Amino acid sequence: DTGVSQDPRHKITKRGQNVTFRCDPISEHNRLYWYRQTLGQGPEFLTYFQNEAQLEKSRLLSDRFSAERPKGSFSTLEIQRTEQGDSAMYLCASSTGFEFHEQFFGPGTRLTVL
């Protein structure tokens, strides 16, 4: 399967712990996005990369959140000192660099903070 993959699919952690998620985009896509989705809501934009450069970050991305895409391929999203309010589905998407483009989403990582 050459779609977007995310790992892990589920993560349960205790408040205060750090967690890291990984996203592998479609190989020829140079744009990679992270979104967060809570129950009953649409996805909310967190950040995006073009190749290895992080070009935009949402106000939702507090200083406890950090994202990297070191070689312009896979990306990691780390949450430090997790809080119960961080519980959500974290979605990764990728796209080509064309102006009008659809985004291809991965299955998501569901985070539960106890």
Partner 1 sequence: SQQGEEDPQALSIQEGENATMNCSYKTSINNLQWYRQNSGRGLVHLILIRSNEREKHSGRLRVTLDTSKKSSSLLITASRAADTASYFCATGGVTGTASKLTFGTGTRLQVTL
Q: Shortest gap between Cβ of 84 and partner 1 (angstroms)? A: 21
Stretch that binds partner 1, among 17-25, 65-73, 77-85, 90-98 (CB under 8 A): 90-98
| Residue 114 interacts with partner 1 (CB under 8 A): yes or no | no
Closest approach, Cβ 102 to partner 1, in A, equals 4
Kindly give, in sequence order, each residue whose CB lies less than 8 Å from that of residue 4, ignoring residues fewer than 6 positions away: 23, 24, 25, 26, 92, 93, 94, 104, 105, 106
Our CB check for partner 1 shows the closer of 82 and 95 to be 95
- According to DSSP, residue 99 is labeled S
CA 107 to each of CA 92, 98, 100, 102, 112: distance values in angstroms, whole numbers, following the listed order: 8, 23, 23, 16, 16
Give the footprint of partner 1 on residues 19-58 (CB under 8 A).
31, 33, 35, 40-45, 48, 50, 55-56
Pairing status of strand 10-13 against strand 109-113: parallel
- Write out the two tokens for 35: 């979104």
Which residues lie near partner 1 (CB under 8 A)? 31, 33, 35, 40-45, 48, 50, 55-56, 91, 93, 95, 99-108
